[in-house]
Amino acid sequence: MLSIFFLYCGLNVVACHPRLYGLFELTKVFRGLIVFATAAFYVRSEREMHLFFHALLTAAFAVAIYSSFERYGLHLHRVSGTFIHPNILSQYGCMLAPALLIYGMMSQRVTLRVLYLFGAALAAAQ
């Protein structure tokens, strides 16, 4: 399905007038396709899934701590976290929050559930 979407995006790039902007977006779709394929080949069992989501939770906490330091320690109005631009931080939070929320709702242990729901709230607040 993703390869069909990539081909559709390629056709749209050919049809658009400033092809440079479309080509930039097409490379982002291609990078996303590579990340998705890598994650799909890596996550084979429930153990790898737990490890993957623990890494996402750790990344969410690290970015939230650094963003809080920028906001309250450095008194920056638009924080960028560990990213180049503040908009990338917001896109990261929009991508990460639903994944952490879903995994938090799936978790059987109460401590993990609370931890993941808190991580989802932190990612959404960024």
> How high is the pLDDT of residue 104?
86
Task: Determine the average pLDDT of the residues in 64-93.
Answer: 82
Tokens 């963003």 correspond to 67
Whole-model pTM: value is 0.66
Whole-angstrom distance between the N-terminal and C-terminal Cα of the chain?
31
Task: Determine the average pLDDT of the residues in 23-43.
Answer: 80
> How high is the pLDDT of residue 32?
79
125 band by pLDDT with thresholds 50, 70 and 90: confident
Every domain of the chain and the residues it spans: 1-42, 45-126
Distance CA 10, CA 75 (A): 43
Positive or negative: CA dihedral 43, 45, 47, 49: positive
Whether residue 54 has pLDDT greater than 80: yes
Residue 107: partners with Cβ closer than 8 Å, 6 or more residues away: 113, 116
